[in-house]
Amino acid sequence: MASIKNNLVLLCVATCALSFVLHQTNAANDLVRNWCQRTDYNDLCVSEIEADPRENLKNSPNGLCNILRDRAVANAVATTPKISSLLQTTTNHYAVQCLQICSESYQRSISKLTVVDFSVINRQDYSELNGDIGAAFYEFQDCEECFTERPGTSPSPLTPENQNLGNICKVVIEIINFVKLKKKEKNKLEKNGYAFNWILFLSFCLFVFLNCSSDWISYIHIYMLSACVHTTPSLSDRLQETLSCAIC
């Protein structure tokens, strides 16, 4: 009998743990889809993030940017042997020049992406983050454009890689810009809320002025003066005290 109870307890614990894990996974998947569908490369965004096993990074835009950056670095590193191999087998002089440019561009992009810090995305970092990711994007673009600008080198043998890496960079920039937009909207709502509170408070003061005795008018006047020098409690506290006194 005791063993049956123990088994039931273990089963309940395991079920609860599994439910928690599934809930966390579903929440992470929802966040990934929510952010990726805002970008111009939804399928690429989802596939690159889902390929990363670090579930703990899939619960915030900062983590998603980290994953995408790491995927871009990994893809760039994986492409460098292909560039080296092409340099050994290519005979066209202009194509060799382009491959040398690509080799240098990939090395620079890897260095730039590796040091980008997404731990905090705020208004002090928007321009810097966009600049760092944008610089890496242009490295891949320069590699691709070299083959289209020089005679006898088109098409580029690195087009799939350049497009993939460039698009990942674009996705990261779009996520950063969406974070910036959301924070602006939040700040705007907070400012509107403060303005509404002041309007409500002043409206009540006007009501008291028009309907109450001179003692109440003096009371409100003192509160308004003290508010100007920031020596009283918060606006909500002042309004609550005034309402309480009015009711009394």
What pLDDT sits at residue 23?
39
* 232 within 8 A of 238, measured Cβ to Cβ: yes
The pLDDT value given to residue 150: 85
pLDDT number for residue 154: 77
Query: CATH fold of 2-182, please?
Result: Butyryl-CoA Dehydrogenase, subunit A; domain 3 (1.20.140)
Among 26-35, 107-116, 152-161, the range scoring the smallest mean pLDDT is: 26-35
What residue spans define the domains of the chain? 2-182, 190-247
pLDDT-derived band at 228 (thresholds 50, 70, 90) equals very low
User: Which of residues 241 and 58 earns the better pLDDT score?
Assistant: 58
Nearest to 169 by CA among 82, 65, 79: 65
pLDDT, residue 127, reads 82
pLDDT number for residue 128: 86
- Predicted pLDDT of residue 175: 93
Angle of CA points 193, 195, 197, to nearest 5°: 70
Interval 14-57: pLDDT, tens: 444 444 343 344 455 688 999 999 999 999 999 999 999 999 99
pLDDT at 217: 52
- Report DSSP state, residue 52: -
- Of 37-46, 115-124, 143-152, 190-199, the one with minimum mean pLDDT is 190-199
What percentage of the chain reaches a pLDDT higher than 90? 47
pLDDT tens, residue by residue, 187-225 = 554 555 555 565 666 666 666 555 655 555 555 555 554
- The pLDDT of residue 146 is 94
The candidate with the shortest Cα–Cα distance to 64, out of 204, 214, 168, 167, is: 168
Q: Say what the pLDDT of residue 192 is.
A: 52
Type of residue found at 241:
E
- Nearest 5°: the CA angle 171, 172, 175 is 85
Model pLDDT, residue 3: 57
Q: Mean pLDDT over residues 147-151, rounded?
A: 87
Q: What is the per-residue pLDDT across 43-96, written as a single tens digit (0 to 9) for each?
A: 999 999 999 999 999 988 999 999 999 999 999 999 999 999 999 999 999 999
Picking from 37-41, 179-183, 236-240, which range would have the lowest pLDDT averaged per residue? 236-240
For 122-152, letters b (16+ CB in 10 Å) and e give eeebeeebbebbeebbebbbbbbebbeebee
Q: Of 60-64, 164-168, 180-184, 238-242, which one has max mean pLDDT?
A: 164-168
Task: Quote the CA–CA distance of 239 and 248 in Å, as a whole number.
Answer: 14
